[in-house]
Amino acid sequence: MMMKQKRPCNDAIQTSLLVLVRKLSDVLGVPISLQIGDPAFNIAQALVPARKAAEYLGVSQKTLANWRCSGTRGLQYVQVGSRILYRQNDLDDFILNSRKSSTSEKPAGRHG
Using the Cα atoms of residue 40, residue 22, residue 91 and residue 79 in order, give the sign of their dihedral.
positive
The one-letter amino acid code at 17 reads: L
Pairwise CA distance, residues 47 & 89, whole Å: 9
Q: DSSP of 5-21, one letter per residue?
A: PPPPPHHHHHHHHHHHH
Domain spans in the chain, listed from the N-terminal domain onward? 10-97
Q: DSSP of 52-87, one letter per residue?
A: HHHHHHTS-HHHHHHHHHH--S----EEETTEEEEE
pLDDT single digits (tens) 77-106: 988 889 999 988 889 888 888 888 788 876
Nearest one of 39, 40, 41, 54 to 85, comparing CA atoms: 54
pLDDT single digits (tens) 9-61: 666 666 677 777 777 777 776 666 655 455 555 554 578 899 999 999 999 99
